[in-house]
Amino acid sequence: MTFSTKDIAVVILNWNGKTLLEQFLPSVTTCSNDAKIYVADNASTDGSIDFLANHYPEIKIIQNKENGGYAKGYNDALKYVDEPLLCLLNSDIEVTKDWLLPIVEAYNSEETVAIIQPKILDYKQKSHFEYAGAAGGFIDKYGYPFCRGRIFDTIEEDKGQYDDITEIFWASGACLFIKNEVFKSLNGFDDTYFAHMEEIDLCWRAFNYSHKTIYVGASAVFHVGGATLQNTSPRKTYLNFRNSLYTLVKNTDRNVFRRVFTRLFLDGIAGIRFLIKGKPSYCFAVLKAHISFYTTLPRLLKQRKQIKQLSNYNNRTSIVWDYFIKKKQKFDCL
């Protein structure tokens, strides 16, 4: 099948984000060619629906019955979207002129491509990559994610070093393109994640079923980041640590218990670092994430049995070791 921009559904998830819609919808409606634009609303109470109905009657509104977070919110809404290509777009993103054209070209160039991420730059500092995705994601053997252009809190300036098309391991949920049939075949996101790292779990499952994820640097967007949940908060720390452990147990190919044991040890060190820095609430968030993980482990192991694992995923060395011990803080140094 040959795709065009008419085959794309740009689906923006919203929860009490009227201000963000006012700011960022103009770029989406102006620059998205013939794509169909949807707003999936997670039971907002701030007048978002009325604003859309009055100012953007051409946008299709899907009203979810509850705020199920990112994962359930998209799962519920995408049942009503039929376009063959889905773009899951955060409400705090400014898109650029003709941003969809390189995406369509990439899909038409290689049939095995299922998921695509564009270049994600920082809206507040447009010369630099943005934390959530940067130039495409990877994962180390203990389940820690990192990106081209961003490793932990070290963020690179965009100097054209990632203006390429390349295979990656995961695409950021801030702006993620996926074939509709693939999303449905994978049963969408795992609802239990609520938010954060559900896209990594989805991409890992896609990888395990031989679907390819790529990065397309010719398409660029600008992401505010932290508009709905701050980049650094105990709540986000809890979700990231918990969901990362969920993802590792469900999807890793082999030696799962050895990997998890090492990961728990490393997380413990991270918790101690938070204490040393005078952030006890973040340390408690890590502890809370572990408690949730232990209580959920039987379900995770059951899910693991239902998911196909491959033995050849390119698990790199420990990113924690490379970054903190070897001081390799840029992707091209790894």
Tell me the whole-structure pTM to 2 decimals.
0.95
Quote the pLDDT of residue 253: 77
Which CATH fold would you assign to the domain 5-223? Answer: Spore Coat Polysaccharide Biosynthesis Protein SpsA; Chain A (3.90.550)
288-325: pLDDT as tens digits: 999 999 999 999 999 998 887 765 666 668 999 999 99
The DSSP H or E segment spanning 220 is strand 212-223
Spans of all domains in the chain: 5-223, 234-333
Lowest mean pLDDT: which of 90-99, 162-171, 213-222, 247-256?
A: 247-256
For the packed helices 18-31 and 48-55, what is the interaxial angle rounded to 10 degrees? Answer: 30
* DSSP symbols for 118-171: EEEEESSSTTBB-TTTTT-EEEBTTS-EEETTEETTEE-B-SSTT-SEEE-SB-
pLDDT category, 268, cuts 50, 70, 90? very high
At 85, list the tokens: 């290509």
Q: Provide the pLDDT for residue 32.
A: 96
For a pLDDT cut of 70, what percent of the chain falls above it? 96
196: DSSP letter: S
Q: Determine the 3-state secondary structure of 111 from DSSP.
A: coil
Q: What is the total residue count of the chain?
A: 334
Beta-carbon contacts of 302 under 8 Å, excluding residues fewer than 6 positions away, are none
Q: How far apart are CA 22 and CA 55, in angstroms?
A: 9
Lowest-confidence segment of 61-65, 83-87, 206-210 by average pLDDT: 206-210
Amino acid at position 59, single letter: I
Structure confidence at residue 74 (pLDDT):
98
4 pLDDT higher than 60: yes
